[in-house]
Structure 1
Amino acid sequence: MSSEAQTITEVSAQDVEEAERLKSEANAYFKKQDFNAAIEFYTKAIEKNPNVAIYYANRSFAYLKTECFGYALTDASKAVELDKNYVKGYYRRAAAHMSLGKFKEALKDYEYVTKVRPSDKDAKMKYSECNKMVKKIAFEKAISVEDNKKNISDSINLDAMTIEKEYTGPELEDGKVTLKFMKDLMELYKKQGKLHRKYAYKILLDIKAYFMKQPSLIDITIEDDDKFTVCGDIHGQFYDLMNIFELNGLPSETNPYLFNGDFVDRGSFSVECIFTLLGFKLLYPDKFFMSRGNHESATMNQMYGFDGEVKSKYTAQMADLFTEVYNWLPLAHCLNKRVLVMHGGLFSRDDVTLDEIRKIERNRQPPEDGPMCELLWSDPQPQPGRAPSKRGVGCQFGPDVTKKFLELNKLDYIVRSHEVKNDGYEVAHDGKCITVFSAPNYCDTMGNKGAFINLNGRDMIPKFTTYEAVPHPNVKPMAYANSLLSLMC
């Protein structure tokens, strides 16, 4: 019996009809961009009739929209298994591979489509683009000798950069960031102006030198009566970042902040976001903190827009320098020895200690597994135990895993980001695992609120502020993203 024959399940005519009805309902939710509801109804259709490739391909697309790349890949593969000639299944699988940075695997699927549809211009274009990326990555690997690889930062000559007379934007004072500079910078960005490249490079060189001296886990002390604010993903939504400062006050010595990763990508004002955040970090190094997210990586930046945006607004050299800076970002912060904050989540092992996190060698691109990967990529799940990640990277961890980790490390709870939540936040695992997400109406489509957390040193009880998206100039999210992602936008 062939493997194809084994996948066919006996289904009644009534179930076939009901499955089609459920698919239509799912499609309607998808059109309204309610992707979670669409997934729910595609799943019901599959339960009624598991033999139809299009149900899996459609659910795969909805999973892509909700960044569940691992699930999207599984569904696309199932669609192809059910119908070897279903071209859309190969497209979906290629998109899932691309989203995970697996360009060689994506190329195989695009290659198949071009063979079965030799006159399909779209397939040819995608194959050609993907092939270019695979070759570029292979070339970069070949020329980079890790042992004596030169740092971009060593090759930058600030003295050779002149400030043109026409430049009227903010200026560093004696090479330093001041509060006036930061206020002028934010006003410049609100009007869609650009910081001079000399100052932009200076900020990057200074911040890299600072981060290089920091441990992978930063300990923060919050005094009893002091307020401390934790923000989640910003994703290039500069005008929403300005709204946070409007609602909660500008960062200062008495108004400290922690931004918990994913400052860039998707939103098309990522350059403005990152320079604002790095500027405040230089201005208040002991009162303003930044964690690395899974989008502070070269692969994600090439796919989701930051790399393209930096090249458009500045240079390819600066895009490479950002990669060097991101490699030195701290991976986690511990507040008053009671609360651990990281971008993604917990681990595939039960014995990970704060000391192990502190000692992680982080100056690299995120690995595909292990504690550094999991800090950036993992997600909580409601059921106990662990499961493979819906994203295809990291792991999913249940309330029992959270409890054990907290007990081992004598902590009260964890705060993480990394996932869109309708209210901008979610309290899970018996109050021990908090998600905060600060990009409202994510990608201009999700309709979610944003949120930030305030707490004080005395009781460390989280208080949530939620807010709606504010208007921004007419530049769509993903404007600078890789053209291959057009399938997913």
Structure 2
Amino acid sequence: MATQVSEDVAARANAIKEEANALFASKKYEEAIEKYTAAIELNPNVAPYYANRAFAHTKLEAYGSAILDGDKAIEVDPKYAKGYYRRGVGKYALARYKEAAKDFRIVVRLAPNDKDAKLKLDDCEKTAARIAFEKAIASDEVIKRVSDSIDVQSVLVEDSYDGVRIDDGKITKEFVDDMIQRFTDQKKVHKRYAYEIILQARKYFMEQPSLVDVKIPEDSKLTICGDVHGQFYDFINIFKLNGRPSEKNAYLFNGDFVDRGSFSLEIILTLFAYKSLYPTGMYLTRGNHETDDMNKVYGFEEEVKVKFSETMFKMFSETFICLPLAHLVQEKIFVVHGGLSSRDDVTLEEIKGIDRISKGQPGQGGLMSELLWADPQPLPGRSPSARGVGQKFGPDVTENFCKMNNIDMIIRSHEVKQQGYHIEHDGRCVTIFSAPNYCDSVGNKGAFINVTPDTEKGYKLDYVQFDAVEHPKSRSYTGRLGGF
């Protein structure tokens, strides 16, 4: 039953909604959400208020909250097409294709001229059918992996190729330097060498446990970086500021190398090549975007298919499932992309023993998924995540995990921070984010952490901030989430 609201209150609510719209247009999404909420508190009877707030939640990747606001908009007005659309987009972003298809089907019925809804409906139906088909095949026979069957030696490198070559399967510093310059100049590396880079990296990752121990030699340092999300020119700028990777200048990139930005392929090939060149100079953690569901929605799959082929994307997919899930630095710092579990009894040994390769894709529940998706919160305990996957964990959860496992702190990524990093939970939980001016719109700084050995504590942390650099314009590969 609708709440009775006077004309004066309704007018004030509408004025606040207009303020929220202006904030949204200025890309101040958190402030816009606060204003939409204020308008809703005054007048909860207006479906567009909820749909607009859902849109803002979507911009912040809070898809669970967007779905809930879609629910509210539909509750207020069951014939409001935009409510179903916003809810459908939230479900779509979480790879819940069958559910999203139901919402887009209603949108098409209520708004027959909505071409974007028709495209999304078609995509959802085709994707759901493909997934069902693949599951049916998998239940009947073992699917042969592309990585195990491809014959790299049969791929001819034309005489006209003007880049440094890989001879006898050995990736050299000269090759990597040349490849980075090619990428900077917006050229491609030959597909044969891309295959070799992927296969060599995959071999290393397959031999590692799900939790990798990292010791920093006395005369060396380890730099921990967060999300870089396809922002190749900002990614390379880290090396300009901090030195290129080597055995003494090691890096740990903590997930979400791909998606969103237009140069994900260039980043991941560079990281994989450095892993082969310097096995103890480059460490990589799997993020929630090194998964098939996210790559389909946020652009990496399409980017690889456009720049190379579907076969190459399958090789990346088969390699991503081999990436370690966490690292333990100097026996005291737990590094993971998302955060902590919904259980209080998780040990480092349990994490180390996760059979990530057999499991493949993390899904939307369980320990593996939580390590990739969880976020910290200021309040004690745990609560549902606005993302729609994983959960939030409080300072008491962090303290318990650290004490039980005899470690000092956790370093995680997964969230954009205006200063590039954020310290909370009494210093036990640090978020590091390394994609400045995220998606060319947020205006945040990037940051990384230099970790060096220390005789007293075992390690020393130094935080370094940096700004975005200019980059060439390139096509976007995230069209599946367009039309918001």
> Equivalents in 2 of 1:225, 1:350: separation in Å?
37
**Structure 2 counterpart of 1:185, from 169, 179, 186:** 179
Residue equivalent to 1:278: 272
**Structure 2 counterpart of 1:325, from 308, 319, 326:** 319
Mark the runs of 5 or more structure 1 residues left unpaired by the alignment: none
Residue pairs, 1:16-415, within 5 angstroms: 16-145=10-139, 148-363=142-357, 364-415=360-411
Pair 139,434 (structure 1): closer, same or farther in 2 beyond 3 Å: same
Pair 391,169 (structure 1): closer, same or farther in 2 beyond 3 Å: same
Give 1:146 deviation, angstroms. 7.2
Q: Secondary structure at the match of 2:71?
A: helix
Output the amino acid matched with 2:305: K
Cα deviation digits, residues 156-209 of structure 1 (max 9, x gap): 011211110110112113211111111111101000010111111111111111
Cα deviation digits, residues 281-321 of structure 1 (max 9, x gap): 11111121000000000111011110001101111011111
Output the amino acid matched with 1:384: P
Output the amino acid matched with 1:437: F
Cα deviation digits, residues 136-170 of structure 1 (max 9, x gap): 22222222347622111122011211110110112
Indicate yes or no: 2:463 matched with 1:464: yes
> Equivalents in 1 of 2:265, 2:206: separation in Å?
22
Indicate yes or no: 2:426 matched with 1:430: yes
> Equivalents in 1 of 2:7, 2:111: separation in Å?
33
> Runs of at least 4 residues of structure 1 off by over 6 A?
none
Check conservation: 2:274, 2:281, Cα contact below 8 A.
no
Output the amino acid matched with 1:45: A
Q: Secondary structure at the match of 1:171?
A: coil
Give 1:11 deviation, angstroms. 3.4
Output the amino acid matched with 2:438: Y
> Equivalents in 2 of 1:156, 1:76: separation in Å?
45
TM-score, normalised on structure 1? 0.95
Q: Secondary structure at the match of 1:278?
A: helix
> Equivalents in 2 of 1:320, 1:41: separation in Å?
44
> Equivalents in 2 of 1:297, 1:337: separation in Å?
28
Check conservation: 1:231, 1:436, Cα contact below 8 A.
yes
Residue equivalent to 1:480: 477
Check conservation: 2:298, 2:480, Cα contact below 8 A.
no
Q: Secondary structure at the match of 2:204?
A: helix
TM-score, normalised on structure 2? 0.96
Output the amino acid matched with 1:466: Q
Check conservation: 2:116, 2:483, Cα contact below 8 A.
no
> Equivalents in 2 of 1:358, 1:127: separation in Å?
40
Output the amino acid matched with 1:276: T
Q: Secondary structure at the match of 2:387?
A: coil
> Equivalents in 1 of 2:434, 2:135: separation in Å?
36
Q: Secondary structure at the match of 2:411?
A: strand
> Equivalents in 2 of 1:218, 1:262: separation in Å?
18
Check conservation: 1:69, 1:100, Cα contact below 8 A.
yes
Residue equivalent to 1:441: 437
Mark the runs of 5 or more structure 2 residues left unpaired by the alignment: none
Identity of aligned residues (%): 52
> Equivalents in 2 of 1:256, 1:154: separation in Å?
30
